[in-house]
Amino acid sequence: MAIRLENQVALVTGAGTGLGRAHALELAKHGATVIVNDIDSHSNESTQPTAAALVVAEIEATGGRAAVAYCDVSDETAVQEMVARIISDFGRVDILINNAGILRDKSFGKSNLADFRRVLEVHVMGSVNCSHAVWSQMLTQGYGRILMTTSASGIYGNFGQANYGTAKSAVVGLMNVLAIEGESKNIRVNALAPTAATQMTEDLLKTEDLVKLAPEHVSPGAVFMVSPQAPTKTILAAGAGVFATARMEESTGVFLPMENLSAEDVAENWDRISDMSSTVRTESAFEQTHRYIAKVDSGSDSRGALL
């Protein structure tokens, strides 16, 4: 199943180094025109090319097409202007990979809340700003692929990463809603949960593990998740050539009669309520609500019934 991205324009945020760079190179390999976004850290006196410019040069050297788009993704106005320039220059935006991110790791009790807000601004509002900026164009053209970058820290938690975990969980919520709202317009929205050796993780892992966790071993999964064949509303976990999907599930549930319902009733039925041996997958909040109401209306016995 060949993945062809010719005539598609892909915007990758935070693409000067690490995962973003690897994503950009992999997209170009499949024929996409790649817009390499990063913060412009270039001083006025420097004659050296920026990291983003080096990625563009690397793509062009292999016959690909690419351009730099400097922008802080947490700046809504700057993002809108960046996307407007891309559409003016290239006519469309087919793919957005929200990759830009920062780390400010510290145990919660020692956290600086200014750092906490900054992490949310970059990861969450950066993803919101970029997705919102391309959304109307994708609606108009009847096609779009958006990939959020989540993390195992957001899905499962990780010591010292309250700010990062909060942000990475939030973008899964954004994915869930945008996937529902974009489905009828052929806009598919997914999330990538990468485990990779980057500037953000190089001090946390052994050298031999860093080699296994090269970003290049994640990016093929990212490209599939923004391809015409992509699923939607799906989390792809990836690292060291290992790929898996992660999702939220519920236990099947127990109905407790509402007359005189008490906390003690919940406690007495906790083993059954929390039994995950059989689960249900829920496509939307309304679907969950309708499932609950249907069980009540069906007339459950007074002992509490599985939903």
Q: With helix as H, strand as E and coil as C, how does the chain read?
A: CCCCCCCCEEEECCCCCHHHHHHHHHHHHCCCEEEEEECCCCCCCCCCCCHHHHHHHHHHHCCCCEEEEECCCCCHHHHHHHHHHHHHHHCCCCEEECCCCCCCCECHHHCCHHHHHHHHHHHHHHHHHHHHHHHHHHHHHCCEEEEEECCHHHHCCCCCEHHHHHHHHHHHHHHHHHHHHHHHHCEEEEEEEECCCCCCCCCCCCHHHHHHCCHHHCHHHHHHHCCCCCCCCCEEEEECCEEEEECCCEECCEECCCCCCCHHHHHHCHHHHCCCCCEECCCCHHHHHHHHHHHHHCCCCCCCEEC
Catalytic residue among 70, 143, 156, 164: 164
Phi-psi region of 73 (alpha: psi -120 to 50; beta: other; left: phi over 0): alpha
143 is catalytic: no
Q: List active site positions.
A: 164
